[in-house]
Amino acid sequence: MDLLKVTNLNKSYGKKSILKNISLECKTGEIIGVFGRNGTGKSTLLKLIFGTVKADSIQIKINSETIHQKDVISSKKIAYLPQGTFLPKEQKVRGVIPLFFPNGDDQDKIFYSPQVSSFEKIKVGELSLGQLRYLELLIIGNLNHLFLMLDEPFSMIEPIYKDVIKNLLIKLKESKGIILTDHYYNDVLEITDKNFILKETEKIQIMNKDDLVKHEYLRCPVLK
């Protein structure tokens, strides 16, 4: 088991504090869900851990090794899926995969994954949102990184691909630790092992949907 430990995470923009003294731990074999209203710092949290947004302060450790924020990307231990696509839109899917996996055996892991054969001849820019998100997750998930930061993996995608992505993430957590954020709370709660909400710069543990109501993430009572 590998352990990602983040402590003393602080981020402000001007005089406005976004995240204050946040700590979290994620180990391989678990999926952690992050909730919060728009503007509470969910995406910022992932970018701070990945190193694409500079923190006011942050301490990152994987097992006993301290990793400076500026060195996270080059360490190749933490991967990040942004909301916007990172794939070349004019390339066909079957041409994109070798860009990330030069080795044939590694390519086969992608090409022979469920559903890929149905869209491998299509240009990336012509994929549905579900196909695109699934392809991105397959690529990132099959890299050698120990931990994955996923920003809205379920947002606006077709139901069939929600199920395919859930199955993929459950499989990936066998060897990786995953932290994800998404407004589709039912999909998140279905696959996560732990959850918390960001509210007024702080991190609060969430056990179930009722807690999402209690902390005013959901506006109406949850039907049981």
Taking 70 as the pLDDT cut, the residues of the chain under it are 220-224
Q: How high is the pLDDT of residue 74? A: 96
Sign of CA dihedral 106, 107, 110, 115: negative
Strands (E) located in the chain: 3-13, 16-27, 31-35, 57-62, 65-66, 78-81, 147-151, 177-181, 194-199, 202-206
Q: Which residues contact 152 (CB under 8 A, 6 or more apart)?
A: 83, 181, 182, 183
Q: What is the pLDDT of residues 44-58, one digit of tens each?
A: 999 999 999 999 999
What is the distance between the alpha carbons of residues 13 and 20, in angstroms, rounded to a whole number? 12
The model's pTM: 0.93
What is the distance between the alpha carbons of residues 206 and 140, in angstroms, rounded to a whole number? 27
Structure tokens at 172: 């990936």
| CATH classification number, 3-84+128-214, choose in 3.30.70.20, 3.40.50.300, 3.20.20.80, 3.30.70.1140 | 3.40.50.300
Q: How many CB atoms lie within 10 A of CB 91?
A: 14
Q: How high is the pLDDT of residue 221? A: 58
> Among residues 100, 111, 114, 121, which one has the least CA distance to residue 165?
114
Q: What is the dihedral of CA 23, 26, 31, 32, to 10 degrees?
A: 0
Q: Are 75 and 67 in contact (CB under 8 A)?
A: yes
Q: How high is the pLDDT of residue 224? A: 45
The gap between the terminal CA atoms of the chain, to the nearest Å, is 36
DSSP, res 166: H
Q: Are 129 and 159 in contact (CB under 8 A)?
A: no
Q: How many CB atoms lie within 10 A of CB 12?
A: 13
